[in-house]
Chains A and B, each alone.
Chain A
Amino acid sequence: MSASPVLETPSDHALAAAYRAGDEGAAAELVRRHAPAMGRFLYSSGASRDEIDDLVQESFFRAFRRLDGWRGEASFRSWLFAIASNALRDEYRRRKGRQMLSIDDRDLPDTADPHADLAAAETAERLRQGVAALPRLQREVFLLRSQQGAGYVEIAAALGTTPGAARVHYHHAVKRLKELVR
């Protein structure tokens, strides 16, 4: 009895190469694979719920236009998040610095312990505002590290800095933010 063939999930590298060779399905797969995480990254960075879809679309559009810029030193996702961060910054500039954070009823809890959940929601929102207010490199390093578990070498490659500098940015961010969750 022969073993059934195992269908391997294509790597980001393989999909990027396929797109460069003209396979649009590969690009669609990359979007499906990374769009949800990119949306979460943008939300944590301060984007409002209503504009996340547009920002994710804009970020992937920019990414595919300059796909040759990704050479694999950083993971595709980290590289994408750096582009998403640029898109968010450009949107922020377009609005001339107007605050983008919003708290609406969808952020409020609806579970059995409303008091505890409300406190958690308030802490989360305070943290989100604190993250959004960080200097850009501190914010990106902190989110890539705390939400993606990326190492300093990978973060440095994605953000165009050094691992040592990334470590310093991370610790500055932690120092600023931990007062917000005490």
Chain B
Amino acid sequence: MNDCERLSDRMPEVALHRGVWTAEEAAHLATCAECRAEWELIQAARDLDARAPTIADPSALAADVLSRLAAERAKVVRARRAWSFAGLAAAAAIAVAVLAGRQVETTQGPQVVAEGEPLVPLPELDGLETAQLDTLLQSLDRPVAGGSTLDASTLGEYEDGELEQVFATWEG
């Protein structure tokens, strides 16, 4: 490292009053035009700092920053809650769909529909007698054994058209 490089490394320290030139450094500075130009630059850069506007109210600025951070945290919490709710809603929708599918299997699938059990659309329930409604409710309350009422081992006995109907039932 030559004298110019050594001086260059020391310039910020001296410009910021954290050190002083040695006699040797001062002598070099007095005779080296390039180092003098760099020294003027470093002092001008330091003074540039002094020309900058001041922050009017750092405490108010701190309050603004904290307020923004709090607002963002609240936003994240709301988003998480929304996702949780959406997850629960989706789970509920899936559960309803599965139960509805089972119900369809119970009422429409092969070997599922008991003879005499009516498939009654909901709007027509109003027209039923109390006894008929009781019968319908009992049929709905009957537990579904083994998670499915369909005996898959018997599928091989069906014609193509019947199989299509079974698959259509499964797929809703």
Contacts and interface: CB of A to CB of B under 8 A. Distances in A.
Given A52-B53, A60-B65, A106-B53, A124 B58 contact: no
A11 to B, nearest CB: 18
A177 interface: yes
Contacts of A43: 48, 51-53
Contacts, number: 116
Contacts of B61: 31, 35, 53, 56-57, 60
Interface stretch (A68-76, A79-87, A88-96, A145-153): A145-153
A19 to B, nearest CB: 10
Give the dominant DSSP class at B's interface.
helix
Interface residues of A, number: 45
B44 interface: yes
Q: Which of A36, A124, A147 is the most central at the interface, judged by chain B CB atoms within 10 Å of its CB?
A: A147
B62 interface: yes
Interface string B135-168: 0000000000000000000000000000000000
Nearest to A60: B65
A42 B55 CA distance: 11
A127 B37 CA distance: 13
Interface of B: 8, 11-13, 15-16, 18, 37-38, 40-42, 44-56, 58-59, 61-66, 68-69, 72
28 contacts: A24-B66, A27-B65, A27-B66, A27-B69, A28-B62, A31-B62, A39-B54, A40-B52, A43-B52, A43-B53, A52-B52, A53-B56, A56-B61, A57-B65, A60-B62, A61-B65, A64-B69, A106-B53, A123-B44, A124-B51, A127-B44, A142-B45, A143-B45, A146-B15, A146-B46, A171-B8, A178-B37, A178-B40
